[in-house]
């Protein structure tokens, strides 16, 4: 149930806050009637909801180092900008530019690591005589109302976020974080956004079209990306399943990138438990309680994002409460069979790769992942 998930996340992220204005912004974006396109997605409603709630709960920090893509990622939390040095080989710079009647749009940087395409772009009011705000200050949260970028709105520019993009000829959706900050130049807004491309077999090179102006976006803002630097992205061999109390932890995939360590985890919960008991088992794995560290618990990696949701034998249904309001209710399809839950945590990468990772949240609930690379034939 939505309130139950929010309460669970709020409890585990109690040191972080979401302002009323940020909550309003997220709900407004969700209800926007502007141009958008959606491709089919395997993400469950609950998984998508958890991603939104987590994004909404995090406090936004002003950046301090610069306005490149990785610096901008630190607007969510400072450690989000932590990447390995070879991540620079994934970056492409000064990709596209176009002058509209009132604003200039520049695609400044982009990085592709097989899981996400991350993009930083700027929109600049040419008539402005001063910065939109203190450079690095968020333009989309912590404000009494949603910031109005009048010059961009006059040109019909989606300056603060994008609901979709076309990558390699396929429609893709944004996932996780996206924020806009005031740039260092007069009238400049700088935005970063990341698109989910993990299910697309992209050619080398591939084209990217960002709908800065929806269907009226000029061809000049289409750009190409190549896959050089992808030799630093690889997969680890999943460890054997581990029985932990009333469930089995099964690591399905470990993808190591200079930008993030991505893990796909299945929790196979024994038959006979209620939906609430299933969520009680699952929730800690998808929260700040879960840490990725070296095998001995040292060198813990910072949590950056997550998603959780049922993928087999449990589904959410809408029902009407006694007060007439609607809410989601979880139901187990077959009580005689196990329930499989999906957890997809992401972590900042380590400075040095260990002999093994330890993924878990206490002395009982963890799994060891040997740092054994898969060869090309074994990759997903």
Average pLDDT of the chain is 83
Name the residue range of residue 202's domain: 2-229
Domain boundary among 213, 229, 245: 229
> Could you give the residue ranges of the DSSP H alpha helices within 237-321?
275-282
205 and 344 co-located in one domain: no
pLDDT above 70: residue 173: yes
Tell me: do 217 and 240 sit in the same domain.
Answer: no
Q: What is the pLDDT of residue 319?
A: 76
Residues 276 and 191 both lie in one domain: no
Q: Which SS3 state, helix, strand or coil, does residue 284 take?
A: helix
| 80 and 166 fall within a common domain | yes
End position of a domain, from candidates 229, 248, 268: 229
Of 208, 229, 250, the last residue of a domain is 229
**pLDDT tens digit sequence for 239-284:** 999 999 999 999 999 999 999 999 999 999 999 999 999 999 999 9
Judge if 161 and 260 occupy the same domain: no
pLDDT, mean of residues 329-344: 95
Indicate the range of 6-10, 99-103, 133-137, 303-307 predicted with least confidence.
6-10
On whether both 191 and 267 belong to a single domain, the answer is: no
Reported confidence tier of residue 215, pLDDT bands at 50, 70, 90? confident
Lowest mean pLDDT, pick from 41-55, 61-75, 171-185, 286-300? 41-55
φ, ψ of residue 321 to 5 degrees: the values are: -80, 175
Residue 375 has pLDDT above 90, yes or no: no
Q: Please give the structure tokens belonging to residue 71.
A: 């610096």
202 and 264 both lie in a single domain: no
- Do 293 and 217 reside in the same domain of the chain? no
Angle between helices 20-30 and 45-57 (to 10 degrees): 150
Q: Which candidate, 49, 81, 44, places its Cα nearest to that of 62?
A: 81
Average pLDDT over residues 330-347: 96
Is residue 338 scored above 60 in pLDDT?
Answer: yes
Please check the confidence at residue 122 and state whether its pLDDT lies above 70: yes
pLDDT tens for residues 1-12?
334 333 333 333
């Amino acid at each position: 149930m939505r309130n139950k998930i929010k309460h669970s996340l709020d409890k585990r992220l109690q040191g972080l806050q979401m302002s009323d204005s940020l909550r309003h912004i997220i709900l407004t974006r969700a209800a926007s009637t502007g141009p958008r396109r959606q491709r089919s997605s395997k993400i469950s409603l609950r998984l998508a909801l958890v991603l939104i709630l987590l994004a909404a709960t995090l406090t936004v920090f002003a950046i301090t180092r610069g306005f490149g893509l990785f610096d901008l990622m630190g607007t969510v939390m400072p450690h989000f900008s932590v990447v390995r040095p070879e991540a620079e080989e994934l970056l492409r710079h000064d990709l596209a530019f176009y002058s509209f009647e009132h604003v200039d749009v520049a695609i400044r940087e982009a990085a592709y690591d097989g899981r996400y395409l991350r993009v930083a772009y700027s929109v600049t009011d040419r008539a402005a005589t001063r910065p939109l705000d203190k450079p690095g200050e968020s333009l989309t949260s912590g404000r009494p109302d949603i910031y109005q970028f009048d010059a961009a709105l006059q040109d019909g520019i989606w300056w603060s976020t994008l609901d979709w993009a076309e990558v390699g000829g396929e429609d893709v959706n944004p996932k996780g974080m996206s924020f806009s900050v005031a740039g260092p130049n007069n009238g400049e807004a700088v935005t970063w956004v990341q698109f989910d491309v993990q299910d697309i077999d992209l050619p080398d090179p591939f084209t990217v079209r960002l709908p800065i102006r929806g269907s009226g976006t000029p061809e000049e803002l289409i750009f190409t990306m190549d896959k050089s630097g992808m030799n630093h992205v690889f997969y680890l061999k999943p460890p054997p399943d581990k029985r932990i109390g009333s469930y089995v932890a099964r690591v399905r995939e470990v993808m190591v990138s200079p930008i993030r360590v991505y893990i796909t985890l299945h929790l196979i919960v024994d038959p006979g438990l209620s939906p609430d008991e299933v969520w009680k088992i699952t929730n800690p794995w998808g929260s700040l309680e879960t840490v990725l560290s070296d095998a001995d618990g040292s060198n813990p990696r910072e949590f950056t994002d997550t998603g959780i949701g049922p993928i087999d034998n449990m589904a959410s249904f809408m029902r009407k409460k006694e007060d007439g309001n609607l809410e989601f209710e979880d139901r187990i399809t077959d009580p005689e069979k196990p329930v499989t839950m999906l957890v997809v945590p992401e972590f900042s990468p380590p400075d040095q790769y260990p002999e093994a990772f330890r993924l878990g949240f206490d002395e009982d609930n963890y799994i060891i992942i040997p740092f054994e690379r898969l060869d090309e034939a074994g990759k997903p």
